[in-house]
Chains A and B, each alone.
Chain A
């Protein structure tokens, strides 16, 4: 067996600081990845298992000599002494063994990215257990996160009580720009493209730009391969509820000789579901169809790294038939009925009302590494988002062409350009500075009015500097942003075009510190600011929102929101316990929300309560706790708790739509490996959510739903088939088939949440 290690570090600090990270890859002699190999450091027993691409990452490594041990089924155990130090680059070649495991490539040992802001990550097994779910549902697994839903198929991530335009989604380095303002506008992303999802919790405008008031969701695909050969993954997922099926495949490869440096990946996903079911009835017209693909080509040449990427997302989603409200009276009739009034049945058909969404992204990026260790990154992105919404009734017309048209259609085309320079590490200082620019144009077409057209230009410059000395790291940054917005409208009477121009500019900053007490304990404190300009719906919406039975009125005089978020985290890691506590306090000035008006609006379809967009000063505070404790050999207990409190300081009352208290805890039992079956496990989890009692009076039609408690179970293992592997996982969600409703689901007025769901997930890696 051959173990090849390349260690790359930069000189940094001189004390015993355990902030190094070891990344690598284990392959067989044919350079195919070895899955499930255990790589660990002898001194600390810190270690990691390789994922389906053979990659592993070990964090919190101390400086100095250590022995790296690599074990894998059917292969000979390998040891190598490595020196984690201020070395530029070293290669270690181990003696070959009989079983010809091949090699372990430690491709990069580097300093961990030290962020003083609070972060959490979904990857590896935890991410695999969410495959087939939407992005919003998948992220619910993380402490501090919830999801806001419109029925079973549309969900958006909620970070520390904030969502929609207050959460920024970055897809492989590009800001996701879609129609993000409505609760039924789910992120237009195929979660299968990501092999790691990082969530930065808190105000992070300095690094990521405007809108990062609640936080940032970063989706990262796996790195393109560097070694010759073709590898791939096939996911096959089936779920009983909704009779949902999903197939996702990716193929990747690299070349050698004349084409060395060239690598590629293609990926595609198909998903189909019919009517989902609650414990007692089906939710008619909740099916969905999705088809996505992406292609990526990379080329490394000397110090350059070029990358071109294209992805396309297509979906058609039915809107639950029972959630159509013509008026407040309609809504209350539906709420009072214990089940939807119409016969429920299963069907894959999608009827009116439904929505179709198309999103594509073209990205071209390149970076250059200078001889001094600095790096210049340039990224261009162009994305198009096209959303069409079809109401339950056909348009009222005799014109056959108009009959085919959606009632609402929005097209948003966005170009982004980012230029970032990362400076080399010098005397403990590292940092980056750069420019980001975006422009987008929105074209609204609709049979009924909702929002006007607009064009915006945004530019920002920022600089972030970090300084590490001994056990302490400081971080500070500053940013200036400018936004120009022009809104195009037509006078409804004489049809004359006119426009209105807005300008916004903001300075944001961040400062934080991280302290490593010892190998086990770290603390970090961060204060960050963020801002967000009012979105087009908040400025100009005017009309009935049918699923909420409300009449919404925009305010074109709204100002920017600004927030200052302070977070404090403590992390403790040992052999048996991994735990973290995050505390935060987010103060938001000019927070935009919908305030109920005393006077309802009378339309021909009935009387609607009216809500006007307004702004107040609010604060959101809370605590996220997570812990994993190996209390017995082979047993792990895990706990995740999320508590959020929102308060409106202007009107001295609670803030609406804050997530209720949530506790998720469970036990996992790891069985011993049997033959070719490795890492078998069984786990059971309980999710308990309290009733939300902190709601402002007279703002909701019905009180928040009662709390609930759900049980979920999982079993899984990894099967080795020659040099390939099959990951098998079987899950049962809501085992006791509890009927419940969730405060953050907009369809809680109309129907229960999903009942029992059996899910089988297979992943074949070759």
Chain B
């Protein structure tokens, strides 16, 4: 049985070495990736075509994308003049960074598979026309730059949706998946 013991002992020793050799990588929790960007804010900036001093904006913000808290909608409304036409810029921001980081250029870079769609609530006298185009063949609209035409005084909801449409963009809103979906209240006075 002497041989048995030697073999058994060697086996167990080898295993113990294997066992204790495991390194403890899990204790070094990776810090947040510094270059990574979060979408926290969607902002609309509207400039009256006839009067460049009439510049209004609205913003929808949720600073922590990973919690169940309510979003900050205190600025999610905007007043437009009746029967006026506005040039509107859609801006996507990362407000976890100081100063806030504008992510819109990165979405612009990927404009061939992004599309902004607007849903206007019945009763709100507003029409929206996208004014920018991508480089697909044939070209499609993008919607980061738009023309808002306000009609007679009214108010209501405007839903702004950024669709992610890799390789399937054809101008339809229903394709791909939704990256951003927020609501604003628009007052026309």
B175 interface residue (CB < 8 Å to A): yes
A368 interface residue (CB < 8 Å to B): yes
22 contacts between A and B (CB under 8 A): A327-B178, A329-B181, A330-B178, A341-B175, A342-B168, A352-B166, A378-B8, A393-B166, A394-B110, A396-B103, A397-B36, A402-B33, A411-B25, A439-B22, A442-B26, A449-B66, A454-B26, A490-B29, A495-B32, A603-B65, A606-B181, A610-B68
The verdict on A441 contacting B35 (CB below 8 Å), with A326-B178, A342-B168, A452-B29 known, is no
Contact of B22 among A343, A366, A413, A449 (CB under 8 A): A413
Do A396 and B7 have beta carbons less than 8 Å apart? no
Other than the given A321-B168, A546-B177, 7 more pairs (CB < 8 A) read: A393-B110, A395-B37, A396-B37, A453-B29, A497-B29, A603-B65, A605-B180
Contact of A604 among B14, B65, B164, B174 (CB under 8 A): B65
A603 to B65, CA, bound (A): 7
| Chain B residues in 8 Å Cβ range of A303 | 4
Contact of A351 among B15, B68, B167 (CB under 8 A): B167
On B, residues with C-beta under 8 Å from A are 4, 7-8, 11-12, 14-15, 18-19, 22, 24-27, 29-33, 35-42, 60, 62, 64-68, 70-71, 94, 103, 106, 110, 164, 166-168, 172, 174-182
A297 interface residue (CB < 8 Å to B): no
| Chain A residues in 8 Å Cβ range of B27 | 453, 455, 488, 497
| Chain A residues in 8 Å Cβ range of B168 | 321, 341-343
Return A145 CB to nearest CB of chain B, in Å.
33
A56 interface residue (CB < 8 Å to B): no
On A, residues with C-beta under 8 Å from B are 303-304, 321, 324-327, 329-330, 333, 337, 341-343, 351-352, 364, 366, 368, 378, 380, 382, 392-399, 401-402, 405, 411, 413, 415, 417, 439, 441-445, 447-449, 452-455, 488-490, 492, 495, 497, 542-543, 546, 551, 553, 601-607, 610
Do A604 and B42 have beta carbons less than 8 Å apart? yes
Which residue of chain B has the shortest Cβ distance to A368 in the bound complex? Answer: B4
| Chain B residues in 8 Å Cβ range of A401 | 35
| Chain B residues in 8 Å Cβ range of A415 | 18-19, 22
Do B24 and A455 have beta carbons less than 8 Å apart? yes
Going nearest first, the 8 A-B pairs with the smallest beta carbon separation are: A326-B178, A399-B35, A606-B181, A453-B26, A324-B177, A326-B177, A342-B168, A441-B26
Which residue of chain A has the shortest Cβ distance to B164 in the bound complex? Answer: A393
The verdict on A443 contacting B65 (CB below 8 Å), with A324-B177, A330-B178, A396-B39 known, is no
Contact of A402 among B35, B38, B166, B180 (CB under 8 A): B35
Return A509 CB to nearest CB of chain B, in Å.
29
A610 to B68, CA, bound (A): 9
Query: From DSSP, what is the main secondary structure of chain B's interface residues?
Result: loop
Do A304 and B35 have beta carbons less than 8 Å apart? no
Do A380 and B18 have beta carbons less than 8 Å apart? yes
| Chain B residues in 8 Å Cβ range of A378 | 8, 11-12, 15
| Chain B residues in 8 Å Cβ range of A321 | 168
| Chain B residues in 8 Å Cβ range of A343 | 168
| Chain B residues in 8 Å Cβ range of A490 | 29, 31
Return B27 CB to nearest CB of chain A, in Å.
6
| Chain A residues in 8 Å Cβ range of B33 | 402, 405, 447
A449 to B64, CA, bound (A): 11
A445 to B28, CA, bound (A): 11
Do B178 and A329 have beta carbons less than 8 Å apart? yes
Do A417 and B178 have beta carbons less than 8 Å apart? no
| Chain B residues in 8 Å Cβ range of A607 | 181
| Chain A residues in 8 Å Cβ range of B106 | 396-398
Contact of B67 among A326, A366, A413, A542 (CB under 8 A): A542
A443 to B66, CA, bound (A): 20
Looking at B33, B41, B62, the one whose CB has the most chain A CB atoms below 10 A away is: B33
Looking at B8, B15, B42, the one whose CB has the most chain A CB atoms below 10 A away is: B15
Do B22 and A441 have beta carbons less than 8 Å apart? yes
Looking at A326, A378, A380, A607, the one whose CB has the most chain B CB atoms below 10 A away is: A326
Do B24 and A341 have beta carbons less than 8 Å apart? no
| Chain B residues in 8 Å Cβ range of A342 | 168, 175-176
| Chain A residues in 8 Å Cβ range of B167 | 351
Do A397 and B31 have beta carbons less than 8 Å apart? no
Do B15 and A417 have beta carbons less than 8 Å apart? yes
A133 to B64, CA, bound (A): 42
The verdict on A488 contacting B68 (CB below 8 Å), with A327-B181, A605-B178 known, is no
Which residue of chain A has the shortest Cβ distance to B172 in the bound complex? Answer: A341
Contact of B174 among A341, A411, A413, A601 (CB under 8 A): A341
Do B68 and A604 have beta carbons less than 8 Å apart? no
| Chain A residues in 8 Å Cβ range of B66 | 448-449, 542-543
A487 to B64, CA, bound (A): 22
The verdict on A396 contacting B182 (CB below 8 Å), with A380-B18, A453-B26, A543-B66 known, is no
Return A446 CB to nearest CB of chain B, in Å.
8
Return B58 CB to nearest CB of chain A, in Å.
14
Contact of B62 among A325, A330, A553, A604 (CB under 8 A): A604
A603 to B72, CA, bound (A): 11
| Chain B residues in 8 Å Cβ range of A553 | 68
Return A64 CB to nearest CB of chain B, in Å.
38
| Chain B residues in 8 Å Cβ range of A601 | 68
| Chain A residues in 8 Å Cβ range of B8 | 368, 378
A453 to B28, CA, bound (A): 9
Return B171 CB to nearest CB of chain A, in Å.
12
Return B161 CB to nearest CB of chain A, in Å.
8
Return B169 CB to nearest CB of chain A, in Å.
10
| Chain B residues in 8 Å Cβ range of A453 | 26-27, 29
| Chain B residues in 8 Å Cβ range of A439 | 19, 22
Do B181 and A488 have beta carbons less than 8 Å apart? no
Contact of A380 among B15, B103, B166, B181 (CB under 8 A): B15
A340 to B168, CA, bound (A): 11
| Chain A residues in 8 Å Cβ range of B177 | 324-326, 330, 392, 546
Do A602 and B36 have beta carbons less than 8 Å apart? no
Do A602 and B71 have beta carbons less than 8 Å apart? yes
Return B65 CB to nearest CB of chain A, in Å.
6
| Chain B residues in 8 Å Cβ range of A337 | 174
The verdict on A326 contacting B39 (CB below 8 Å), with A441-B24, A488-B27, A604-B62 known, is no
Do A393 and B29 have beta carbons less than 8 Å apart? no
| Chain B residues in 8 Å Cβ range of A542 | 66-67
Which residue of chain B has the shortest Cβ distance to A365 in the bound complex? Answer: B11
Do B26 and A488 have beta carbons less than 8 Å apart? yes
Contact of A551 among B12, B68, B174 (CB under 8 A): B68
Return A551 CB to nearest CB of chain B, in Å.
7
Which residue of chain B has the shortest Cβ distance to A419 in the bound complex? Answer: B12
Which residue of chain B has the shortest Cβ distance to A334 in the bound complex? Answer: B174
A415 to B17, CA, bound (A): 12
| Chain A residues in 8 Å Cβ range of B24 | 441, 455
Return B143 CB to nearest CB of chain A, in Å.
16
| Chain B residues in 8 Å Cβ range of A405 | 33
The verdict on A606 contacting B178 (CB below 8 Å), with A393-B166, A454-B26 known, is yes
Looking at A401, A543, A606, the one whose CB has the most chain B CB atoms below 10 A away is: A606
Return A421 CB to nearest CB of chain B, in Å.
12
Return A608 CB to nearest CB of chain B, in Å.
10
Return A155 CB to nearest CB of chain B, in Å.
24
The verdict on A602 contacting B70 (CB below 8 Å), with A441-B22, A441-B26, A488-B26 known, is yes
| Chain A residues in 8 Å Cβ range of B37 | 395-397
| Chain A residues in 8 Å Cβ range of B70 | 602
| Chain B residues in 8 Å Cβ range of A393 | 110, 164, 166, 179
Looking at A396, A441, A448, A453, the one whose CB has the most chain B CB atoms below 10 A away is: A396
Return A405 CB to nearest CB of chain B, in Å.
8
A445 to B37, CA, bound (A): 16
Looking at B25, B32, B35, B71, the one whose CB has the most chain A CB atoms below 10 A away is: B35
